[in-house]
Structure 1
Amino acid sequence: MAPLPTPSEQPDDTPEAYVGLDAGHAERLARERGWTTVRSLPPGSIITMEFLEGRLNFEVKDDTVIRCWKG
């Protein structure tokens, strides 16, 4: 039987801390804090709802993070 995959670690971080930041700065900060995937989306984007460990999502309007969530 094949071993179970080990999920990637997720940083102990607060998504709300990114709200209000410039999108570029927020992405650099998230990567420095250990997020493996950072995704920037315009408001109202249609996305799949699968949860991906280690991913941080930004909703960005006028180059500012207006919402942030894990997965």
Structure 2
Amino acid sequence: MAPLPIPSPEPADDLDSYVGLDGETAERRARTRGWTTVRSLPPGAVITLEYLGSRLNFTVDDGVVERCWQG
């Protein structure tokens, strides 16, 4: 039997600190803080519901982060 995969550790980060940043700055900051996957989405985007603990999601409107959540 194959060993179970070990998930990436979840970065300790203040997600509210991303709101109000421009999208590119937010993505760079997230990667330097250890998020392995960073996803920028337009408002109202349809997304899958699978949870990835090491993924950070942004809703970006007019170049500015409006919402940020993990998973």
Q: CA RMSD in A?
A: 0.7
Question: Structure 2: where are the runs of 5+ without partners?
Answer: none
| Runs of 4+ off more than 3 Å | none
Residues 9-41 of structure 1 deviation map (CA, whole Å, 9 limit, x = unaligned): 110012111000010000000001011110000
Equivalent in the alignment of 1:44: 44
Identity %: 65
Corresponding residue pairs, total: 71
Give TM-score scaled by structure 1 length. 0.95
What code does the residue aligned with 1:5 have? P
Give TM-score scaled by structure 2 length. 0.95
